[in-house]
Amino acid sequence: MDDSTLSLIILGLTVALFIWNRLPVDLVAVLTALALWATGVLDATQVVAGFGDPVVIFIATLFVVSEGIYATGVTTWLGQTIVQYAGLNRTRLLIAITGLCAVLTALITLNGAVAALLPLVVMLAVRIGEPPSRMLMPLTFAGSAGSLLMLTGTPVNIIVSEASREAGEGAFAFFSFAVLGIPLVIGTITISVLLGPRLLPDAKPAHSTTDLARHKHTLDLHYALTDGFYRLRVRELSPLLGQPLREIDLTAYPGVEIIGAQDSQGRPRLDGELEIGDVLVVTGPSDYVGSLTIDSVLSVCMAPTQADDLLTREAGMAEVVIPPRSTLVGETVFPGMHRAHDIVIMAVQRMGKDRGNQPTTLAEGDAILVHGPWPELDELTKDRSILIVDSPDLIRRQAVPWGAKASVAVAILGAMVVLLATGAVPPAIAGLIAATAMVLTRVVGVQQAYRAISWQVVVLIGALIPLTTAIQASGAADQVAEIIIDAVGPGRPYLLLLALFVLTCTLGQIVSNTATVLIVAPIAVSAAQATGVSVRPVLMLIAVAGAASLLTPISTPANMMIMNPGGYRFGDYWKLGLPVMAWWLVVALLVIPRVWDF
């Protein structure tokens, strides 16, 4: 059996496994690569060569850049800004949100844009009394259209651009996709606004998403945070030295109250005489606290913490609950108490009631509001003695305003776009420069960068590239191309485009669009070359068809992301997806031949 036949058999089995959907897509891709080696179609070096391909490197770096933009609150800031100007009118809000998703997708990929905007859109839908199902699918479809605004919008664009370069007709320019992307975005949003209410279900999600955008306001309502407090350290010449805590006279300082005290080791001082280095936690009017500080020779070791200052780019709040059998049960705490790693206790609740400014011996079910640097709050998620109510990471991403790191992240993204648009360096190098800059400037931590990369996508593409190589090198692509040419006939480039659109879209609904384009691209190139048609219009059509994965939830990760929050069923996608896809086909057939000659 020759290599071309073996390649087609392996291709057929690969597609069948994707359709079967019982194995992870990345595992199917690896099995495909191993099958090519086991059958002798490719040698070992060719089988693993895909993982070192510049396309794979570039795509991996985009995940790191996306994480930097998302984690610094840039996407949340953009969403809140749009709401400020668009208001809560359904039509205006839907146009604004879907337009934002399209632009973000062009910059940070579809999955990153949908992940960043999904919680915001769900909460906005609830606020205006609209089912999330009426807004989430238009969001994703507009994002899919937005992936064709720039080269970086989707791995599909990078794949077809590289295929064009390898075919000898040069890579696509960075913004060349926008000729198609702009009318696709406009048409997709228009169809969603006009037909969405009729075609989309009025569904309720199984589990609602928490809105953390007003988290500070929520905690301010539930806890007594308005007065703030001061931490005053006892100095060597203080007249308070040697006095028991309960005997300190504060009659000269109206409104000032001692909440508690800690010794120099950070332990609560409930009785005994004050010593050098002890810290008094007091609350009250700032002028009288200042007088107490001067008169008693104390030093302020922490400024007052007001509700408006609790959420910043550097520090934030977290609400924790004491679970059964916690090691903290029986420990005495009070507001203003400083614990390890710069964590400060702000308030304590028991049975839903604030304990106020008094020491509390912790019991099961008590809720504690703590304040501290974000990295230290993130570490609390690993502490088995407490339960975190809301993830500090989600709070930071949804509720914290634009900060210094956000500006750095945007500057890095802008520099990467300039490098890609000018062609100053290869795309993989531009991506590596941007990802490295994100880590060096501490916008993204090293471990955070590794977690941000979708290794499933990396393995999927790296392991399927050898299949593309095999299909081309063995002549299998030419055989499939001949079948397509025989079906449409020679000298009919429009029918060729239509046939390739149908083939790509059909596979793209059940197979990853990235995997689909990796499979179809070499076939499209062979068909174009055999009929004397330029590969550039054919490959651009493949990019459009590859992005048109709109009819099923399994076609893209973004479609899967919105399924549960939107309360969608498998059969809900095609109702709006078909008219949107029809518009895409019309745009592709009208625009592509006029921009890229046959």
Residue 160: exposure state from Cβ atoms within 10 A (0-12, 13-18, ≥19): buried
**Percentage of residues in the chain with pLDDT exceeding 90?**
17
- With a CB cutoff of 8 Å and minimum separation 6, the contacts of 236 are 276
Q: Summarize the confidence of residues 160-175 as an average pLDDT.
A: 86
Higher pLDDT, 70 or 181: 181
| Collapsed DSSP state (helix, strand, coil) of residue 306 | coil
Q: Summarize the confidence of residues 226-245 as an average pLDDT.
A: 81
Q: For 340-390, write each residue's pLDDT tens digit.
A: 767 888 788 888 788 877 888 899 999 988 878 878 888 888 888 888 887
**In Å, what is the CA distance from 56 to each residue of 31, 459, 516?**
18, 9, 16
Higher pLDDT, 385 or 554: 385
Task: Compute the C-alpha angle 61/67/71, nearest 5°.
Answer: 160
The whole-model pTM stands at 0.67
Whole-angstrom distance, CA of residue 196 vs CA of residue 238:
72
Please tell me what DSSP assigns to residue 511.
Answer: S
CATH of domain 310-389: 3.30.70.1450
Quick one: pLDDT at residue 577? 93
Tell whether the model's pLDDT for residue 416 goes beyond 90: no
DSSP string for 53-81: -HHHHHHHHHHHHHHHHHHTTHHHHHHHH
Q: Summarize the confidence of residues 276-303 as an average pLDDT.
A: 83
- With a CB cutoff of 8 Å and minimum separation 6, the contacts of 160 are 172, 517, 521, 539, 540, 542, 543, 546
What stretch(es) of the chain map to CATH 3.30.70.1450? 229-304, 310-389
For the sheet with 298-302, list strands across it: 257-262, 279-283, 230-234, 298-302
Span 229-304 CATH architecture: 2-Layer Sandwich (3.30)
Q: What is the 3-state secondary structure (H, E, C) of 342-367?
A: HEEEEEEEECCEECCCCCEECCCCCE
Band of pLDDT at residue 129, cut at 50, 70 and 90: confident
Residue 301: enclosing H or E segment and its boundaries? strand 298-302
Tell whether the model's pLDDT for residue 304 goes beyond 60: no
The token pair at 321 is 């609950």
Please tell me what DSSP assigns to residue 474.
Answer: H
The count of residues in the chain is 598
- Residue with tokens 């490959």, as numbered in its chain: 539
Whole-angstrom distance, CA of residue 200 vs CA of residue 218:
33
Tell whether the model's pLDDT for residue 219 goes beyond 70: no
Q: For 476-513, write each residue's pLDDT tens digit.
A: 776 777 777 777 766 678 888 898 898 888 877 766 67
Q: Which residues pair with 391 in a beta bridge?
A: none
- What single letter denotes the amino acid at residue 580? V
Q: Summarize the confidence of residues 535-553 as an average pLDDT.
A: 89
Q: For 56-111, write each residue's pLDDT tens digit.
A: 888 788 788 878 887 787 877 776 777 777 777 888 889 999 998 998 888 777 87
Q: Are the CB atoms for 83 and 123 separated by under 8 Å?
A: no
Quick one: pLDDT at residue 432? 93
